[in-house]
Chains A and B, each alone.
Chain A
Amino acid sequence: MDESEMLAREAAAGSSAAFAALVRKHQSALRGFLMRMTRGNAALADDLAQETFLEAFRKIGQFGKGTFFGWLCAIGYSRYLMEARKKKLEPLDDEAESGVADDRTPAVDDSAIARIDLEKAMAMLHPAQRAALTLCFALGMTNEEAAAAMNVPLGTLKSHVNRGREKLIHLLPSWRIKEAT
């Protein structure tokens, strides 16, 4: 059992200090994940992160197997989906993807700008593909952990990852070609 899981047990036993330590430890990664899900909307991402921690505190007694951060992401992702449905932030049905390319995207090999390219390309993916790629790559979860966090079967998760990667491969060089010509 790692530090977070021990703190979660203490929080479940009524320790607010333990929960505060968990918030401090995971706030950056959770806000980063939600920031990517909301396509860079920092205010909305922070609101969702706050709601996620509040819900986690209420349900801390239900935290069982798996990692605490995975459990937190599951709550955060479901909060994001509710918000996206309610405010119609972007289409969530299986086939819909926002395919509007951004012509202002720069095409330079510099790593900082490559990150900006990636964020813009990520914003064009279906939310499930965006979540799957972020959880599996940037946040280093196993496929099983990511599938649990997204509440989807393992096969569906793998399909989101593969389709998301294919779309990114298509999107990233197309920007460079566009800029070069």
Chain B
Amino acid sequence: MIDDLNTLLGAPLPEIADRGFSAKVMVRIEKAQRRDAMFTFGVLGLTALAAMPFLPIVKTVDALVPTLVGLALQPGLYIAAAAIALTLLADRELFQN
């Protein structure tokens, strides 16, 4: 009797066909991930909005504008940008050949 019981208990559980179960789980996971991401962005957005009145935005923009204008007038910046673009183009050509 005990041997029979061990055999009976040791029989593997019947195989259950997937029938879309795994796909359903993954859809729920993707939905949960989207919800979590939206929640995170929502909290960040609200925090940023709430912080706006306390941030020195006008002063920061006033300080940044002359710096950006100064940078835009530097010829070195354009030379560097052109060098990067040429390097990328050459790299792509080499890769294709």
- Answer whether A and B are interacting partners: yes
Residues of A at the B interface (CB closer than 8 Å) are 16, 19-20, 23-24, 27-29, 31-33, 35-36, 46, 49-50, 53-54, 57-58, 114-115, 118, 133-134, 137-140, 165, 168-169, 172-173
Given contacts A28-B16, A50-B25, list 19 more A-B pairs with CB under 8 A: A16-B29, A16-B30, A24-B22, A29-B13, A32-B15, A32-B16, A49-B21, A50-B28, A53-B29, A54-B25, A54-B28, A54-B29, A57-B29, A115-B8, A118-B8, A133-B9, A137-B10, A140-B10, A173-B1
List the 4 closest A-B pairs by CB distance, nearest first. A32-B13, A137-B9, A28-B16, A23-B22
Q: What residues of B have a CB within 8 angstroms of the CB of A46 in the complex?
A: 21
Interface size class, chain B: 20 to 34
Q: Is B32 an interface residue, CB under 8 A from the partner?
A: yes
Residues of A within 8 A of B26 (CB): 16, 19-20, 23
Contact call B14/A32, Cβ cutoff below 8 A: yes
Interface of B is mostly: helix
Among candidates A28, A138, A169, residue contacting B15 with C-beta atoms closer than 8 Å = A28
Contacts of B28 in A (CB 8 A): 50, 54
CB nearest neighbor in A for B12: A138
| Docked pose: A44 CA to B81 CA in angstroms | 62
Among residues of A, the one whose C-beta sits closest to the C-beta of B2 is A169
The answer to whether A134 touches B25 (Cβ under 8 A) is no
- What is the total of A-B residue contacts with beta carbons within 8 Å? 76
Are B13 and A168 in contact, with the CB atoms below 8 A? no
> With the chains together, A124 CA to B15 CA distance in Å?
23
A26 to B: closest C-beta gap in Å: 10
User: Could you tell me if B13 and A139 are in contact, using CB atoms closer than 8 angstroms?
Assistant: yes
Nearest-Cβ distance from residue B11 to partner chain A, whole angstroms: 7
Contact present for B32 and A33 (CB under 8 Å): no
User: Per-residue 0/1 for B1-39: is the Cβ within 8 Å of any A Cβ (1 yes, 0 no)?
Assistant: 110011011111111111001101110111010000000
Q: Is the CB of A35 within 8 A of B22?
A: no
The CA-CA distance from A169 to B1 in the complex, in Å, is: 8
